[in-house]
Chains A and B, each alone.
Chain A
Amino acid sequence: MSSVLDVVLSSAFLAAVLRVATPYLLAAFGGLVAERAGVSNIALEGQMLSAACTGALVAGYSHSVALGAVCGVAVATLLGVLLAALRLELGADVIIAGIGINLLASGATAYAVYTLLDDKGGTSGLKSGTLPTVTLPGIQHVPVVGDVVSGQNLVAWLAFLAAPFVAWLFFRTRFGFHLRAVGEMPDAAASVGIPVRRVQYAGLALSGALSGLAGVFLSMGYVSFFVRDMTAGRGFIALAAVFLGGLRPWGVFLAALGFGAAEALAVQLGTLDVPPQLVSTIPYAMTLVALAVYAWRRKRRGAAGEVATASL
Chain B
Amino acid sequence: MRYGRSAAVAVTGILALTACGGSDGADSGAASSGKPRIKLVINGGLGDKSFFDSAYEGLKKAEKDLGYELKVVELGSDRTKWEPGFEDAASADDYDILAAGTFEVTEYIGELAPQFPDKKFWLFDAPVDYSGKNGACSNKCENVYSVTFKQNEGGYLAGFLAEKLVAAKSLKGAESLKKVGVMPGVKIPVIEDFVVGFRAGFKDAGGKNSDVLVQYVGGDKPFGDPAKGKEISTSMYGQGAALVWPVAGLSGLGTFESAVTAKRYTFGVDSDQYQTLTDQAQKNTVVTSILKNVGTALYKAAQADQKDSLKYGAVDTVGLAEDAVGYVDDDHFRELVPEKTRNEVQEAADKVKSGSVTVPSAF
Contact = CB atoms under 8 A, between A and B. Distances in A.
A20 interface: yes
A230 B219 CA distance: 12
Contact of A271 (B215, B234, B257): B215
B238 interface: yes
B187 to A, nearest CB: 5
Contact of B220 (A23, A122, A225, A232): A232
A227 B74 CA distance: 16
B154 interface: no
B225 interface: yes
B231 interface: yes
Contact of B225 (A124, A230, A276, A283): A230
A117 B222 CA distance: 24
Interface stretch (B46-54, B136-144, B162-170, B293-301): B46-54
A127 interface: yes
A122 B236 contact: no
Question: Which of A12, A19, A119, A232 has the most chain B CB atoms closer than 10 A to its own CB?
Answer: A232
A227 B221 CA distance: 11
A225 B253 contact: yes
Interface in B186-234: 187, 213-216, 218-221, 224-228, 230-232, 234
Contacts of A218: 227
A229 B226 CA distance: 10
A218 B307 CA distance: 50
Counting contact residues on chain B (CB < 8 A from A), the size range is 35 or more
B224 A230 contact: yes
B288 to A, nearest CB: 20
B227 A222 contact: yes
A261 to B, nearest CB: 13
B219 A233 contact: yes
Contacts of B48: 121
Interface of A: 12, 16, 19-20, 23, 110, 114, 119-122, 124-125, 127, 218, 222-225, 227-230, 232-233, 263-264, 266-268, 270-271, 276-277, 279-280, 283
List 6 tightest A-B contacts by C-beta distance, closest first: A121-B47, A120-B47, A280-B218, A270-B215, A233-B220, A276-B216
30 contacts: A20-B231, A119-B47, A120-B45, A120-B46, A120-B47, A121-B45, A121-B46, A121-B250, A122-B47, A122-B226, A124-B277, A127-B278, A223-B226, A223-B230, A223-B253, A225-B226, A225-B253, A227-B253, A230-B226, A232-B219, A232-B220, A266-B218, A267-B232, A270-B216, A270-B235, A271-B213, A271-B214, A271-B235, A277-B187, A280-B219
